[in-house]
Amino acid sequence: MIAPTAPDQPDRTPHHTRPLVLSLSGITKRFGNLVANDVISLDVHAGEIVALLGENGAGKTTLMSILFGHYVADEGTVHIADAGGRLAPLPGGSAEAALAAGIGMVHQHFTLAENLTGFENIVLGTVPLWRLGFGKAAARAKVARLMKESGLEADLGVPVGRLSVGEQQRIEILKALYRDVRVLILDEPTAVLTPQEADSLATTVKALAAKGLAVIFISHKLHEVLALCERVAVLRGGAKVADRPAAGADRATLAELMVGREIPARERMPAALGAPVLHLAGVDVGAPGERDRLEGADLELRGGEIIGIAGVSGNGQGALAALVAGLKAPRRGRCEIIGQVATRADPGARLAAGVGRIPEDRHRDGTIGALTVAENYVLETLADPENQRHGLLRRAAIRTRASQAIRDYDIRCPGPEAPIRALSGGNMQKVVLARVLERAPRLILAHQPTRGLDIGATTDVHRRLLAARGRGAGILLISEDLDELFALSDRIAVMHAGHLSPAMDVAGLDMRTVGLMMAGHSAEEAA
Amino acid sequence: MWAALEILTQANFWAATLRIATPLIFGVLGALLCERAGVLNLGIEGIFVAGAMSGWLAVYLGLPLWGGVLVAALVGALFGLLHGVLTVPLGLSQHVTGIGVTLLATSIAYFGYRVAFPNVATPPRIEAFPPLDLPILRDVPFLGPILGQQTAFTVLAFACVIVLALVLARTPLGLALRAVGDNPEAVEAQGLSVVGLRLGAVMAGSALMALGGAFLTLSAFNAFYFGMINGRGWVCIALTVFASWRPGKALLGALLFGALDAYQLRLQTITGGAVPSQIFLMLPYLFSIAALVLVARRADYPRALMKPYFKGQR
């Protein structure tokens, strides 16, 4: 039994007549001087899908962590309905209590043990540790029933590390359902899915809600929120600034509620095409057995255009990025970068030729956490006379220029001498962006440039990339976010299993076609 | 040449193989239990010494032999608790802490021995575990003489292999242990205690390591000597990788190492000093290195091994 209502009688009454399952009232949480949650109240009813919107740092994570027992609220209470439908206070600070009370959460980063099978992950923690056996038969029967009822399908017999992201997510949801949740929290569930997978997830969530499950849906993708949710709650700066029905809301209003100011529209002005900056003809990168490889890639990118590379990560995007950045050499074929034929792995030569790199993982490859903002800012130009003289760093000059960049790019940080690891993801990315754009590169490799950033920071990155395009730079934009690709790109190529499709003009291109191609269909099949 | 092969037909050789392998079996099981839960325990070498010393001392002071085994296990668990508290809730570097535990445990064992026996020239002896006297098996040709040289302690080692294999593969506890070494967040999200599981695994694993040490003083020999562990703990760490963190393969690896060691000892007598004995002594270790080179490159390490976990942080 998933919910207090009988599964065969879907509850279609408006939410205010449906029973309340979760009630947060006056939740306040402070970290030092920072008020992460400021008197937030939120009611969720059975069968309701509520969207929780907010920028990074708006307090969504803190609120959910309180609900989940990771943090204890300074003020306020959480009430949750028991099996009989009566509201009872939830003791704070205990994940076990939250689980027992029927709160389930599917995190953006899955909490699956990859060496265990799907079945083992689902039953983990549901049987007392000191028992000798599992009661496997009963558990399997229950999982099979849940799979049938919810339409969630996944191979439960192999280690989950071998499954696709979509399958792993379905196992995460089954894991929650197995514990008879009454409230299911989905944190950015579609961030890693293809459009088809996202559609099937939406169908599942609607079916579960129809059976009385209350769903809290956290997402940045506003069109999904509007299509799926009945009610939208918006957090900003730790406080709830809106709680309204989804009907009648539009993307622009919601985005403005989240950011607190008007969002400048990003406009792709026509730009004059320049000389080719990247030319690939039959290029292989990586050994044939490798997962992240490139096979027979053909591509021409010219100055003044953005080519988007769509695809689920790990299908060869890493190899393509490494090739352009000079971290890997082409194994076969001809690769020309800004007029030079690239035969060896030579990152320094690429920089010198005018390639700007925005790496996929800004923490691992984009910045060095222990160094200061100023030091990170000049990392790629240390040899320039303006940064060093006789082998000694010109610290004062570097500091001045970094301060200038901090002002120009609106980087929120304590100053140029602050260690960069103290910055938020969005501000860190601005440092990387400033470093890249300062050199007026002719070819920009933007690998997932807005992953994990909120709307404000994302718009900023987009604006600056479009401006660089306007100045004549050619941009290779590798992204999993189709909205982003369609908003920025002039042409889009799809990557699947190491193969790169021809770049297709974005005008007249359908997002669903791209989605099918991401899943391995050819352009003809997908069209 | 023929003589070198003939060694393999001697019951004595196989008996020695089992005897040499037994402490390694305990050690590898202990190390793999800790590592399966995500904690590297380099305290193993010192815990071997402490187990050897404490088990032996307990029997010398009048406890029955199995009482000595229990004391050794408790002492091992205690050092495990120390290593666990430093590396799990406090999240200190597992390498550095482990080496520290080895130095501490070794020194305490030697110090304890010196305090207990300030003025002895030859190490005092105890009545060690007697060889097994098995009613029917002793009359089986070849097998009888091999088993007849073993003690109940070796039987315990084999039992531990079976128990640990079953616990890891078949029980809810084993499931949680395997999960906590792969992704502690998964365990936390399911309402289980990461700290509790890891601490428990390190303590139990360290108790097993101490039994490996105790076997040497209570069964293989009947006295405690300085330097008697002689790197056996380190060998176990390497064999754990060789075993891919599986109890069955751990048994195989320990037996293989034991066989090589027993073989080289007999080879020395055959060659009669024509080849320096040190060359032969190196053989088992060369095998370890070669095996690691072949296996470790493809090794499937527990994903969370050596990564401290702090609640509410990802």
Q: Give me the interface pTM, i.e. the ipTM.
A: 0.89
For chain A, the average pLDDT equals 89
Distance CA B291, CA B294 (A): 5
Q: Which of A54-58, A80-84, A301-305, A505-509 has the lowest mean pLDDT?
A: A54-58
Tell me the per-residue pLDDT of A85-132, one tens digit each, with 9 for 90 and over: 889 999 888 888 899 999 999 988 889 999 999 999 999 989 888 888
**pLDDT of B195 over the 50 cut:** yes
Establish if A112 touches chain B: CB-CB under 8 angstroms: yes
Q: Which of A138-152, B82-96, B164-178, B287-301 has the lowest mean pLDDT?
A: B287-301
- Tell me A27's DSSP state: E
In what order do the strands lie in the sheet containing A34-45? Answer: A34-45, A20-31, A75-81, A87-89
> What are residue A400's phi and psi, to 5 degrees?
-60, -45
**pLDDT of A8 over the 60 cut:** no
**pLDDT recorded at residue B312:** 59
Given a contact cutoff of 8 angstroms between Cβ atoms, the answer to whether A503 and A307 are in contact is yes
Between A437 and A197, name the one with better pLDDT.
Answer: A437
User: What is the mean pLDDT of the segment spanning B234-248?
Assistant: 94
Distance CA A517, CA A500 (A): 10
Domain that holds residue B29: 13-118+149-296
User: What is the mean pLDDT of the segment spanning A68-78?
Assistant: 89
With a CB cutoff of 8 Å and minimum separation 6, the contacts of A224 are A190, A198, A202
What are the beta bridge partners of residue A79?
A: A23, A89
User: b/e for A93-105, b at 16 or more Cβ within 10 A?
Assistant: ebbebbbebbbbb
Q: Which of B93, B79, B99 is nearest to B208 (CA)?
A: B79
**pLDDT recorded at residue B314:** 42
Q: Is B228 within the bounds of a domain? A: yes
**pLDDT recorded at residue A223:** 85
User: What is the mean pLDDT of the segment spanning A403-407?
Assistant: 94
With a CB cutoff of 8 Å and minimum separation 6, the contacts of B227 are none
Between A194 and A79, name the one with better pLDDT.
Answer: A79
Q: Which of A95, A96, A124 sits opposite B176 (nearest CB)?
A: A124
Q: Which of B300, B312, B314 sits opposite A109 (nearest CB)?
A: B314
Q: Is B131 within the bounds of a domain? A: no
Q: Tell me the shortest Cα–Cα distance from B300 to chain A, in angstroms.
A: 10
B179–A113 CB contact, under 8 Å: yes
With a CB cutoff of 8 Å and minimum separation 6, the contacts of A138 are none
B171–A131 CB contact, under 8 Å: yes
**pLDDT of A12 over the 80 cut:** no
Given a contact cutoff of 8 angstroms between Cβ atoms, the answer to whether A118 and A138 are in contact is no
Q: Which two tokens stand for residue A133?
A: 């056996």
User: What is the mean pLDDT of the segment spanning A447-468?
Assistant: 90
Q: Tell me the shortest Cα–Cα distance from A2 to chain B, in angstroms.
A: 18
In which band, very low, low, confident or very high, does the pLDDT at A49 lie, cut at 50, 70 and 90? very high
Distance CA A178, CA A2 (A): 9
Q: Which of A140-149, A378-387, B293-302 has the lowest mean pLDDT?
A: B293-302
**pLDDT of A165 over the 90 cut:** no
Distance CA B281, CA B264 (A): 7
Residue A183, SS3?
strand
Q: Which of A230, A218, A215 is nearest to A184 (CA)?
A: A215
Tell me the per-residue pLDDT of A241-271, one tens digit each, with 9 for 90 and over: 999 999 988 888 898 888 888 777 667 788 8
Establish if A154 touches chain B: CB-CB under 8 angstroms: no
Q: Is B5 within the bounds of a domain? A: no
**pLDDT of A435 over the 80 cut:** yes
Distance CA B310, CA B314 (A): 8
Q: Is B197 within the bounds of a domain? A: yes
**pLDDT recorded at residue A9:** 40
Q: Tell me the shortest Cα–Cα distance from A126 to chain B, in angstroms.
A: 8
In which band, very low, low, confident or very high, does the pLDDT at A503 lie, cut at 50, 70 and 90? very high
Tell me the per-residue pLDDT of B268-293, one tens digit each, with 9 for 90 and over: 888 877 888 888 888 888 888 888 88
Domains with residue ranges and CATH for chain A: 1-102+221-262 (3.40.50.300), 264-354+440-527 (3.40.50.300), 369-438 (no CATH)
Distance CA A431, CA A451 (A): 15
Tell me the per-residue pLDDT of B218-230, one tens digit each, with 9 for 90 and over: 999 999 999 999 9
Q: Which of A65, A112, A134 sits opposite B186 (nearest CB)?
A: A112
User: b/e for A201-233, b at 16 or more Cβ within 10 A?
Assistant: bbeebeebbbbbbbbbbbbbbbebbbebbbbbb
Q: Tell me the shortest Cα–Cα distance from A380 to chain B, in angstroms.
A: 30
**pLDDT of B257 over the 90 cut:** yes
Tell me the per-residue pLDDT of A333-379, one tens digit each, with 9 for 90 and over: 999 999 999 999 999 999 999 999 999 988 888 999 899 999 999 99
Distance CA A351, CA A295 (A): 25
Tell me the per-residue pLDDT of A264-289, one tens digit each, with 9 for 90 and over: 766 778 888 999 999 999 999 988 87
Given a contact cutoff of 8 angstroms between Cβ atoms, the answer to whether A44 and A34 are in contact is no
Q: Is B304 within the bounds of a domain? A: no
Angle of helix B277-296 versus helix B232-242 axis, rounded to 10: 30
In residues, how long is chain B?
314
Q: Which two tokens stand for residue A310?
A: 């769509």
**pLDDT of A82 over the 90 cut:** no
Domain count, chain B: 1
Q: Is B195 within the bounds of a domain? A: yes
* Dihedral of the alpha carbons of B162, B163, B166, B170, in degrees to the nearest 10: 170
**pLDDT recorded at residue A173:** 94
Alpha carbon separation from A318 to A289, A327, B51, B83, B204 (Å, rounded): 15, 10, 50, 40, 42
CATH of the domain at B279: 1.10.3470
With a CB cutoff of 8 Å and minimum separation 6, the contacts of A351 are A326, A357, A380
**pLDDT of A16 over the 80 cut:** no
B175–A105 CB contact, under 8 Å: no
B189–A96 CB contact, under 8 Å: no
User: What is the mean pLDDT of the segment spanning B300-312?
Assistant: 88
Tell me the per-residue pLDDT of A458-474, one tens digit each, with 9 for 90 and over: 888 999 999 999 999 99
Q: Is B123 within the bounds of a domain? A: no
**pLDDT of B41 over the 90 cut:** yes
Map tokens 């390694």 to a residue: B24
Residue B175, SS3?
helix
- Tell me A106's DSSP state: E
Q: Is B230 within the bounds of a domain? A: yes
**pLDDT recorded at residue A68:** 85
User: What is the mean pLDDT of the segment spanning A51-74?
Assistant: 88
Contacts of A65 in chain B (CB under 8 A): 312
For chain B, the average pLDDT equals 93
**pLDDT recorded at residue A27:** 95
Q: Which of A173-182, A184-193, B100-109 has the lowest mean pLDDT?
A: A184-193
**pLDDT recorded at residue B313:** 53
